Structure 1
Amino acid sequence: MADCTEQLKRRILVAGKKEPADLVVKNGKIMNVFTGEVMEGDIAVVDGIIAGIGDYSGESMVDAQGKIIVPGFIDGHLHIESTMLAPQEFSKILLQHGVTTVMADPHEIANVAGTDGLDYILENSQGLPMDIFIMLPSSVPVTPFESNGAVLHAEQLRPYLDHPMVLGLAEVMDFPSVAGAEDTMLRKLAAFQSHPIDGHAAGIGREGLNVYVAAGIRNDHEGVSYQDAVDRLSLGMRLMIREGTVAKNLEALLPAVTPLNARRCLFVTDDKLLDDLVEEGSIDHIVRLAIAKGLDPIMAVQMATINAAEAFRLQDRGAIAPGFAADFVLLDDLRSVAIHSVYKGGICVAEKGAVHEELFPVPEPALPKPSISTFHVKEVHLKDFELPLASDLCHIIEIIPNQIVTNHLRMKVDNDNGLFRPSLKKDQLKMAVVERHRATGNIGLGIVKGFQLNKGAIATSVAHDSHNIVIVGTTDEDMFAALQKVLSMNGGLAVVADGEVLASLPLPIGGLMTEQKYTDVYANLKKMNESLKEIGAPAAFDPFLTLSFLTLPVIPHLKLTDKGLFDFHSFRIIPVEADSE
């Protein structure tokens, strides 16, 4: 309390010009997210907080040279695990792109390792020059139609509510459990009624949204159409506009944003791969796209800053004003969101596309706990990849490039003596999901269209949200070889052709992440992309991320889990063979 009182006293004295500030930023054009105006004046910073805007003196001075100053960007929903990086390396990339605060949902690693996974993210997100807040995962497991590594009930989540980095409950995916007022879900929702709760209303119409809002769920990022946006906003939800690597919803949702409702909208990346973050950016990329598509620049900045802060009840950030955290970005140009430098708590953490490495703690080399890093897979044989068929009419998953929803097709396939045979001509490949948490021996088999591979196979232990090992390939032999490579690395990505491993990326932290430097991982991903070209993968979408979402049963329309082919609309496992209707 004494420290807080002294800091408050000093802030008041600096605001009243009775003491000099720690830092004064002069000659900048300050974007006021409250009024929409661009102001001129000095920004006075003390103890990492803005004390005032006006005419100030301080211990040090930064000349903004007429640059535009906006608040630090905030990502309202993402999964650190999707970058395949540990929190420290993840933060280095986002800071370069002006993102100073994120709301992370660690349900990927929680589905692998439960509370040990949560603890890993919390422990490794502290002491960084970026704020990583946590929304506790609501769906561990996501559904009973797949096998995962842990179960988290309200009793396991409630103790984390006292943690200063924890804000609320993350995307509630199990709509049937909410709509049915099932006891396990009710206890979670009840425990978080005084905290922000995120939705996951994929494929849910307006009537279903009533159920979500009545349950206390106020945010949602699964809108994919204009009508989705209108429905969410009209029922009082905050609209999260997502633009990630696979799910790109900005173009469809943006027409629904008006001056009257824009303050209820915010930007999120959800799942974005490392190479896209490095090459495109993060929230800055979404702001750039939104402005290019005609959104007023001030509204775009509001959606990237103060709107997100208010959605998560963060009263101390999202604006450049007295009493707010001194998190701000100097832009050379607003429309192109050209970032010159980034400040966190009044300290320059990145400039000219590079972070100040000395601000980051030196990580202590340590292996993750066995519960995080160990695979448990029953021995798999080549014959286990055979997919028996009694007919040639089958249910087929069709991928939609750059979307996480799929089409549900009924098509004739090649039946070779009672076994499915992949067809390059028809672009019908085999897909497998191998359970890796409890050595159940479960292997789900299905047929997928859209990958366009002309040879080989790819495999990954990143498979939302239970993160079993998912494989797609042209031959059983290459699929088997890709599986063996992933197992030998204790998790990761592999590209195989003609029995040879063309490229691989180890992910020893839960089969999801690595503590390697992001520059090394980025270079490795480049090699992976080259190997994907060798086997014919198209460049229009990311094959690995697309594959990783084909196992997520809470997203329409047809998916594959270790227990079999899952139909979203009937919400049940169905056979691969289709009835001849």
Structure 2
Amino acid sequence: MDKNQTLRQRIQAASGAKKAELVLKHASIVNVFTYELETADIAIEKGYIVGLGQYDGEREVDLKGKTVCPGFIDGHIHLESSMVSPADFQQAVMPHGTTAVITDPHEIANVAGTAGIEYMMKYAEVLDLDVYFMLPSCVPATDLDESGAVLRARELRPFYERKEVLGLAEMMNAFGTVQADEAILDKLADAREKGRLADGHAPFLSGRELNAYVTAGVVSDHECSQWEEAREKLSRGQWIMVREGTAARNLNALMPMFQYPYCERGLLVTDDKHPGDLIRLGHIDYIIKRAVEQGADPILAIRMGSYNAARYFGLKDRGAIAPGYRADLAVLSDLKTFQVEQVYKDGRLVAEDGEFLGEKPHRPILLPEMEKRVYDSFHMPQIRLSDLEVKETGENQKVICLQDNELLTGEMIVPWKEKEGYAPGVDLERDIIKMAVFERHHETGHMGLGFLHGYGLKKGAVASSIAHDSHNLIVVGTNDADMVLAGNCVRENKGGLAIAVDGKVQKALPLPIGGLMTDAPAEVVEQELQEMKEQLKEMGIPDTIDAFMTLAFVSLPVIPKLRLNTFGVIDADAQTVVKAVF
């Protein structure tokens, strides 16, 4: 076949020498270059936009003046955090106008190493949704964490040969980067030598330490929770990813990003989002809608949710409606209600009226050893009551304090308390419950014990194998017996969530794919999850806390201030183990 045939056909359709395969007639087009609405037909040939103007098509769809914008791009997400397979994630987000995502598979990599990355990449090959990858930079997140694998520069290096790999994902070990840790420099050097990006993750990094971090080659950040922090990072050349996910919601604080000149270096991301939020609220379209409700210019917000992400990641033929760009399009009711009515991917209608129109692909076939790493990831003994015994006590205890709608935590010192019917140290009057994290990858028997304020639980226990980033087994509760029950239920299910009350497991959601995901449809997972959350509300957890997403981050030792993992209570700022006082 003539290698120029496809290009020749596109040029002929653009010039009017032939009819275009598809023409979307009478569209109100969002122009991300001029920040204007332009009325024209959109001519599409071989999956690409070839012309705007007046065109005839072999097939024509009259949009009757409806708004058309570029397909949305999520610039930073962990697909695993949706708790469903990539196929079910696709079915949840494409009806909301998302046509591409840039994912960091560090959740599954922390469980299954390179086998986990291969699993996600193989799955992405069979999707309509375009999935690009940033390679996990911190597996484990720091030296003060125990994961299922350790990925050094040499393990990541072969993945750079894949065209879908765009760079190195969030460098969470900002402390090590600033200290010029040799292993981190190896990873950053590989990305630089391959001409790839390095994303950042450095909450509250400032001053000389920020200068050092940017000097190392880290060019973005998605952890800004205050405008002053974002502005400083912008002033040092970083791109700011405005995050609005399930647990971390930074949009309100970062609304100045939707103004000139800051919007030129801003993009929209979700980071971690549960299936219910994706289905009910939306994806990137939800962030745009929220921003517009708060006064943002809708075209500017759309640009941040499409073209800016494409520009940052070097996706030169995406994110705009113009000749030579992929025909990835979202048809909107208007720029006020922002209802996505149709979605086109490479010129094909893939979603309409909130429904995905494609078939759900089968999960990829892996080599036996990879299959085992991904689907058989729990290796720990049964939990016993004696495991939860607090062996050293004092007059006071240091408590990890949650903050509403934030991943940040604080700390407080409170008097030690014992009350019959509750675990020692639990003080429900002060909203303090017990917490434990069990190593579940290598049967080491390691565990950490601590106490948590602000979760709201008044009875029973909650357990989860989603515990960022190493995804060991995290359990919180008011009494040891229910904590044992909930924890062992998750262990027996090879991952997932569980609630136990008064000596009985009340509800459980198995997540057998790495202890993170399930092959069940998103709607089924969402129904189960909502039932569990409703029960937990009845058990005291407030609306300002996402019972599972918030809990999942309590063990991540790279976000200030205090965390709990298998090493014990961690001071994330100093990267030290806090000396136990109990």
Task: Give the TM-score band, short-chain normalised.
Answer: over 0.9
Matching residue of 1:394? 397
Residue pairs, 1:317-332, within 5 angstroms: 317-332=318-333
Partner of 2:562: 558
Could you say which residue in structure 2 is the equivalent of 1:505?
509
Provide, for residues 232-252 of structure 1, a one-character-per-residue CA deviation record: whole Å limited to 9, x for no partner. Answer: 111111111001111111111
Map residues 238-249 of structure 1 onto 2, 5 A cutoff: 238-249=239-250
Structure 2 counterpart of 1:253? 254
The one-letter amino acid of 1:451's match is Y
Q: 2:494 — aligned with what?
A: 490
Shift of 1:410: 1.4
Residue in 2 aligned with 1:373?
375
1:524 is matched with 528
Which residue number in structure 2 is paired with residue 275 of structure 1?
276
Residue identity opposite 1:448 in structure 2:
L
Specify the code of the residue in structure 2 equivalent to 1:563: F
Whether the aligned pair in 1 keeps the contact of 2:382 and 2:488 (CA below 8 Å) is: no
Offset of residue 535 of structure 1: 2.1
Q: Name which of structure 1's ranges 364-373 and 196-205 shifts more when overlaid on structure 2.
A: 364-373
Mapped partners of 2:299, 2:209: distance in 1: 33
Task: Identify the residue that residue 182 of structure 1 maps to in structure 2.
Answer: 181
SS of equivalent to 1:512: coil
Return the letter of the residue paired with 1:516.
A
> Shift of the alpha carbon at 1:335?
2.1
Aligned with 1:477 (options 471, 478, 481): 481
Which residue number in structure 1 is paired with residue 96 of structure 2? Answer: 97
Q: In the alignment, does 2:544 pair up with 1:540?
A: yes
- Corresponding residue number in structure 1 for 2:236: 235
How far 1:576 moved relative to its partner?
3.2
Q: Does the aligned pair in 2 maintain the 1:391–1:415 contact within 8 Å?
A: no
CA offset digits 1:430-473 (Å, max 9, x no partner) = 00000001111011000001111111000000000000000100
1:147-546 equivalent positions in 2, closer than 5 A: 147-193=146-192, 194-358=195-359, 360-363=360-363, 369-374=371-376, 375-415=378-418, 420-546=424-550
Indicate how the Cα distance of structure 1 residues 272 and 3 shifts in structure 2: closer, same or farther if over 3 A, else same.
farther
Deviation at 1:415, TM superposition (A): 4.4
Cα distance change of structure 1 residues 240 and 206 upon mapping to structure 2, 3 Å threshold: farther
**What 5-or-longer segments of structure 2 have no aligned partner?**
none
The whole-number CA distance in structure 2 between the counterparts of 1:405 and 1:491 is 26
Larger CA deviation: 120-129 vs 473-482: 120-129
Taking the aligned partners of 2:336 and 2:31, their CA distance within structure 1 comes to: 16
Alignment check: 8 A CA contact 1:67 1:330 kept: yes
Contact in 1 for aligned 2:383/2:487 (Cα 8 Å): no
Structure-2 change in CA distance of 1:212 and 1:113 (3 Å)? same
Q: For the Cα contact (< 8 Å) 1:388–1:420, is it kept in 2?
A: no
Aligned residues: 575
Shift in Å at residue 180 of structure 1? 1.7
Distance in 1, matches of 2:576 and 2:250, equals 27
Q: Deviations over 1:127-167 (max 9, x none)?
A: 21110111110001111112101111111111111112211
Give the TM-score of the pair, scaled to structure 2. Answer: 0.96
1:68 aligned partner:
67
Between 23-32 and 196-205, the greater mean CA deviation after superposition:
196-205
Distance in 2, Cα, partners of 1:522 & 1:416:
37
Q: Which amino acid aligns with 2:361?
A: P
* Counterpart secondary structure, 1:448: strand
Counterpart AA for 2:106: H
Structure 1 residues 10 and 206: CA distance shift in structure 2, 3 A: farther
Work out whether residues 458 and 495 of structure 1, in 8 Å CA contact, stay in contact via their aligned partners in 2. Answer: yes
Deviation string, structure 1 residues 13-38 (Cα, Å, up to 9, x no partner): 11111122111000110010001111
Shift in Å, 1:365: 8.4
Q: Is 1:9 the counterpart of 2:8 in the alignment?
A: yes
RMSD: 1.6
1:80 counterpart = 2:79: yes
- Matched residue SS, 1:300: helix
Give, in angstroms, the shift of residue 210 of structure 1. Answer: 1.1
Secondary structure in 1 matching 2:515:
coil
2:331–2:341 CA contact under 8 A, matched in 1: yes
Mapped to 2, the partners of 1:4 and 1:22 lie a distance apart of 20
TM-score normalised to the size of structure 1? Answer: 0.96
Which amino acid in 1 is paired with 2:549?
L
Structure-1 residue corresponding to 2:37: 38
Distance 1:186 1:577 in 2: 36
Q: Deviations over 1:61-111 (max 9, x none)?
A: 111111000000110000001100110100111101111110000000001
Work out whether residues 494 and 501 of structure 1, in 8 Å CA contact, stay in contact via their aligned partners in 2: yes
Contact 2:257 2:266 in 1 (8 A): no
> Is the counterpart of residue 575 in structure 1 residue 579 in structure 2?
yes
Q: Distance in 2 between matches of 1:416 and 1:296?
A: 56
Distance 1:60 1:127 in 2: 27
For 2:283 and 2:172, the matched residues in 1 are separated by 24
Alpha-carbon separation, structure 1, partners of 2:275 and 2:67: 28
One-letter amino acid of the structure 2 residue matched with residue 507 of structure 1? L
Structure 1 pair 99–386 and aligned structure 2 pair: CA distance change class (3 A) = same
Give the conservation status (yes or no) of the 8 Å contact 1:241–1:266: yes
CA distance in 2, matches of 1:263, 1:571: 34
Which whole-Å CA distance do the structure 2 matches of 1:207 and 1:496 have between them?
A: 48
SS at match of 2:302: helix
Any conservation in 1 of the 2:203–2:223 contact (CA below 8 Å)? yes
Q: 1:272 and 1:4 mapped to 2: Cα distance?
A: 42
Compare 310-319 and 365-374 and name the one that shifted more: 365-374
The SS at the match of 2:75 is strand
Matched to 2:222, the amino acid is: H
Cα separation, 2, equivalents of 1:364 and 1:318: 29
8 A Cα contact 2:122 2:364, kept in partner:
no
What is the CA-CA distance between 1:416 and the residue it aligns to? 6.8
Instruction: Kindly provide the CA deviation profile for residues 392-447 of structure 1, in whole angstroms up to 9, marking residues without a partner as x.
Output: 31110011121111011112130479x83312222110000000011110110000
